[in-house]
Amino acid sequence: MSDVIHAIQNRISIPRLSAPAPGPDQLQTLFSCAVRAPDHGRMRPWRFVAMQGDALVRLGLAFEQAGLAGDPTADDSKRARWRDMPLRAPMVIAAIARIKPNSKVPDWEQVVAVATAVQNIQLAARELGFGTMWRTGEMTVAPAVLEHLDMAGTDRIVAFLYIGTPEGDARAPEFQPLDECVEYRS
Ligand SMILES: Cc1cc2nc3c(=O)[nH]c(=O)nc-3n(C[C@H](O)[C@H](O)[C@H](O)COP(=O)(O)O)c2cc1C
């Protein structure tokens, strides 16, 4: 079987990730794979913010601010939980869609292009021995987080991609029965 098919069929999300994160050369490889994603109209809608070290602590403070905006009386443990969210991996890559109005390429197609770039990163990371976990949730739309990431009005966070070295044994991938989702017509 080809390496590509094997990599795709065996990709799984890995929530428990520790150091090391990818180094500069490895990140170069990952992002060069990202920008080869299918992209209608060559809009290049992606922007990636790779955060590690203090940048993750600062992202956690933005998460706390975002949480407090919705729940101003949150207790210390809840505040700590928000602050610690980005610390679940040694690196978090925010994958952002910079949506530009275009009569031929609707907004959703630009978001999809960024999503395929995220998948490229996931597969390439696996090949380099790293694990990833694609997360979104309420923090992707919280004004404090958008401001922290210097996002303009129409930008969308497509993923917080957690990346690092897998902890523990990998589980087996699950396969949906194909007759649930595939039709053949001829
Ligand atoms: C757009 C998008 C957003 C996601 N957001 C979350 C999330 O916030 N939390 C989460 O646990 N999984 C999230 N997932 C799903 C996981 O990344 C993962 O794909 C899922 O748990 C299935 O596991 P697998 O990738 O190993 O098959 C998201 C996936 C996508 C495509």
Cα(127)–Cα(167) distance, integer angstroms: 16
For residue 43, report the distance from its CA to the centre of ligand 1, in Å.
26
Nearest atom, ligand 1, residue 136 CA: 8
Integer Cα distance of 124 and 170 in angstroms:
17
Task: Give the dihedral of Cα atoms 50, 54, 58, 64; nearest 10 deg.
Answer: 110
Of the CATH numbers 1.10.8.290, 3.40.109.10, 1.10.40.50, 3.90.180.10, which one belongs to the domain with range 17-49+88-169? 3.40.109.10
**Pocket lining: 134 vs ligand 1, CB cutoff 6 Å:** yes
- pLDDT class of 2 with cuts at 50, 70, 90: confident
3-state secondary structure at position 23: coil
Over residues 70-115, the pLDDT tens digits come to 999 999 999 999 999 999 999 999 999 999 999 999 999 999 999 9
CB distance 8 to ligand 1 below 6 Å: no
The Cα 159–Cα 19 span in angstroms is 20
- Tens of pLDDT, residue by residue over 144-179, are 999 999 999 999 999 999 999 999 888 999 999 999
Mean pLDDT calculated for residue range 37-44: 98
Atom 5, ligand 1: residue with shortest CA distance: 135
pLDDT for res 174: 95
Report pLDDT for 1.
Answer: 72
For residue range 3-40, list pLDDT tens digits in order: 999 999 999 999 999 999 999 999 999 999 999 999 99
